[in-house]
Amino acid sequence: MDLRTYRASTLAEAVAKLKAELGPNALILSTRQIVERFCLGLRKREIVEIVAGRNLQRRPQARTAAAATAAAPHAPVLRPSKVPAQIVAPAETTGPLIKTATFSDKHFESLVSEMGQLRNMVGQLAVDVRHQIAPLIPDELADHFQNLKANQVEADLAEELIKAAHSVIRPEHLRNSDFVRDKLAEQVERRLTIGGPIARTRVGAPHVVALIGPTGVGKTTTIAKLAANLILKEKHSVGLITIDTYRIAAIDQLKRYADIIGAPLRVVANPDEIAGAVAAMRDREFVLIDTAGRSPSDTLKLSELRNFIQVAGADEVHAVLSATSSQPCIEHALERFGQVRIDRIIFTKLDETEHVGVLLNVLHKINKPLSYVTTGQDVPDDIEVARGRRLAQLILGSKL
Ligand SMILES: Nc1nc2c(ncn2[C@@H]2O[C@H](COP(=O)(O)OP(=O)(O)O)[C@@H](O)[C@H]2O)c(=O)[nH]1
Ligand SMILES: [Mg+2]
């Protein structure tokens, strides 16, 4: 063991001295800044003191002279304001000046090589896992597959879409992400049944449309949007009927909209009255029926609802579902309200959902046409006639 102390006015000078004596692989054990007094103690100056040695066991804090010079090749006189970031000790302290551990070139190279190996291993692991989850997804389309799944498109359906798109994309286009997205959108669009807007099919009698669905999905708001658009934009005559007599607030809500848009409103409490209410509006082109948000698991009330719809002679029954509900919840509602009657689907609250893929799963399964989607609380603006390509883009991750 050969330990020596070097003092100089700069770090670079001190390192140069020790390198000259101990060689480039000498180990630095401590570095500090001290104040040296001279002229009989009347004057003082800041200097750097390094303790170094050779033939030592390497410790974590120890640095080679080569590394020290690399860290501060042109080290100025060490005053706190000019000290490089890694040098922290103030003057007249005995703590280490340099805190960061550094490595010899050899250590650094081996670390870089190990990191490279790790990166390769993780990459290979990701490919293996992907192959295990979806064995037949081509690597070039793996990100698109993950994206569909992130939007909660069911794995089987996502795989089917990817394979169908893959079969129509030439290999040289597989890495063109926009092109692949476009082809995928085509495939998604094919699996969506789109129903188009409400259209009058009768002459001399109103076209009767009923909205059914769970509580709070937005039936009343959607009726108001539809009525306002039919009256204000398309200049049709519209009458409104509500059978939601369970809550006074629900009647008030529709009454306020009816007054604003200038549509007559009739409140009907039992099935016997509804035929009369529709007949009273026979001068109207459209009659829209708002229904009570009864619990989907309440079979008695569901059969009552079916009765209302039958007696009213509805031309169209739209099931209203919220895009924010979970898939099991939507499927449950569809099963229950399917016992009443479902001709078409309206999805509400697209503005609030994080998983548009659920719409595709559901529509693909039940194969009922989608008529409208709603995109916010504003009456009458936040409603759109469903369009396949637009919905497909949303399912692939576009924003509203
Ligand atoms: N964010 C958002 N909220 C909506 C949408 N449609 C309706 N709502 C809101 O959902 C809540 C329940 O609506 P309502 O029409 O009373 O539901 P109902 O019980 O099915 O008649 C209200 O606060 C509406 O403003 C929509 O498309 N987006
Ligand atoms: Mg309501």
Q: With pLDDT > 70 as the criterion, what percentage of the chain qualifies?
A: 83
What is the model's pLDDT at position 350? 97
Confidence check: pLDDT of 82 > 90: no
- Whole-model pTM? 0.71
Q: What share of the chain is helix, strand, coil (3-state, %, to 5)?
A: 45, 20, 35
In this prediction, residue 294 has a pLDDT band, given cuts at 50, 70 and 90, of low
129 has a pLDDT exceeding 80: no
For residue 61, pLDDT beyond 80: no
pLDDT category of residue 18 using cuts at 50, 70 and 90: confident
Strand partners, 266: 241
Rounded Cα–Cα distance for residues 258 and 111 (Å): 73
CA 336 – CA 50 distance, rounded (Å):
83
Predicted pLDDT at 378: 95
pLDDT value of residue 79: 37
Q: Is the CB of 217 under 6 A from ligand 1?
A: yes
State the distance from the centre of ligand 2 to the C-alpha of 242, rounded, in angstroms: 9
Q: 253 alpha carbon to ligand 2 midpoint, in Å?
A: 8
Give tens-digit pLDDT for 157-175.
999 999 999 999 999 999 8
CA gap 334, 346 in Å, rounded: 12
pLDDT reported for residue 244:
78
Q: Which atom of ligand 1 is nearest to the CA of 382?
A: 27
Give the lowest-confidence range in 219-228, 244-253, 289-298: 289-298
For 66-71, what is the mean pLDDT? 50
Q: Would you state the pLDDT for residue 364?
A: 93
Q: Residue whose CA is closest, atom 19 of ligand 1?
A: 216
219 lines ligand 1 (CB under 6 A): yes
Q: What is the pLDDT of residues 246-288, one digit of tens each?
A: 777 888 999 999 999 999 999 998 899 999 999 999 999 999 9
Q: How far apart are the CA of 216 and the centre of ligand 2, in A?
A: 7
Which of 325, 346, 377 has most ligand 1 atoms within 8 Å of its beta carbon, as the pocket-test mutant?
Answer: 377
Closest CA to 389 of 190, 195, 161, 168: 190
Q: What is the DSSP string of 239-289?
A: EEEE---S-HHHHHHHHHHHHHHT--EEE--SHHHHHHHHHHTTTSSEEEE
What is residue 374's three-state secondary structure?
strand
In the reported structure, the alpha carbon of residue 303 is separated from the centroid of ligand 1 by a whole-number distance in angstroms of 25
Q: Which atom of ligand 1 is nearest to the CA of 244?
A: 21
CA-proximal residue: ligand 1, atom 14 (nearest): 218
Question: Is the distance from the beta carbon of residue 102 to the nearest atom of ligand 1 less than 6 Å?
Answer: no
Between the CA of 145 and the centroid of ligand 2 the distance, in Å, is 38
Residue whose CA is at the smallest distance from ligand 1 atom 13: 218
pLDDT, greater one: 330 or 14: 330
295 C-alpha to ligand 1 centroid (Å):
16
Taking each continuous run of H as one helix and of E as one strand, the counts in the chain are 13, 12
Which residue has its alpha carbon closest to ligand 1 atom 1? Answer: 376
Secondary structure of residue 170 in the 3-state scheme: coil
Q: How far is the CA of 193 from the centre of ligand 1 (A)?
A: 24
State the pLDDT confidence band at 112, using cuts at 50, 70 and 90: confident
Q: Return the pLDDT at 96.
A: 56
What pLDDT shows up at residue 72? 44
Determine if ligand 1 sits within 6 Å of the CB of residue 375.
yes
d(CA 86, CA 359): 55
Residues 111 and 116: their CA atoms lie apart, in Å, by 9
Mean pLDDT of 8-16: 89
Please state the atom number of ligand 1 nearest to the C-alpha of residue 348: 27
